[in-house]
Amino acid sequence: MSEPGLPRGAIFDMDGVLVDSEPFIAEAACRMFAEKGYPGVQHDEFKPFVGMGEDRFIGGVAEARGIKLDLIKDKARTYQIYIDLIKGKLGPLPGVHEFVAKCRAKGLKIAVASSADQIKVHANLNAIGLAPETFDAVVTGEDVARKKPAPDIFLEAMRRLNLPAAECLVIEDAVAGVEAARAAGARCLALTTTFRPEALFAADWITETLATAPDAVLSW
């Protein structure tokens, strides 16, 4: 039974909220580009596309450099490299397990809504000891046509949780994700794991990690 008050649901972005997998996926993409004959791609080139899903994460860099992609094949290769890279190395960010447990103790429904593809989402969740079945819903980039900053992925998570936006908290780390949460009509907690606080100004609360989240985010 939920405690009285709001929120009644918590929707977690994955990268930068539950895990810090950006260095691994950027390295995997760099290695994929090197295999294609472009060894000079740097991690920083992916930063503008954080939170937008791997199609844009990889595709944005390819477009900027004039590299022709076979998106299905090249993305699949990137994921192969990525899953190898994270073995035994990927852990949860501070406070993740405790915050999820706190949501459950308050009777909240919980979901993951990540622009990444299912293969990456499931690999990450399993790596940090929060199997997909931990959540009431898991929505990935393959489930929606429009990626963040469009609100579609959060709206789909809310639909699956059977909750209105006004009763949901979205936890994000990316500018595009905060924009998507606000466009969906939800309150938003932004974590500064990827962007500086001033870039996340549109969020309702801003903090470093889930370990430092104020009590107010789970009690309106």
Percent share of the chain, pLDDT over 90: 90
d(CA 29, CA 35): 10
| pLDDT for position 4 | 59
| pLDDT for position 1 | 43
pLDDT digits (tens, 9 = 90+) for 117-157: 999 999 999 999 999 999 999 999 999 999 999 999 999 99
CB contact at 8 A, 44 and 22: no
Q: Active-site residue among 15, 55, 74, 152? A: 15
d(CA 151, CA 140): 13
pLDDT digits (tens, 9 = 90+) for 180-195: 999 999 999 999 999 9
Q: pTM for the complete prediction?
A: 0.89
**Residue 183 exposed, middle or buried by CB count within 10 Å (0-12, 13-18, 19+):** middle
Dihedral angle over CA of 200, 171, 159, 91, nearest 10 = 130
CB contact at 8 A, 5 and 219: yes
| pLDDT for position 182 | 98
Q: Is 15 a catalytic residue?
A: yes
pLDDT of 3 above 60? no
**Residue 161 exposed, middle or buried by CB count within 10 Å (0-12, 13-18, 19+):** buried
Q: Is 215 a catalytic residue?
A: no
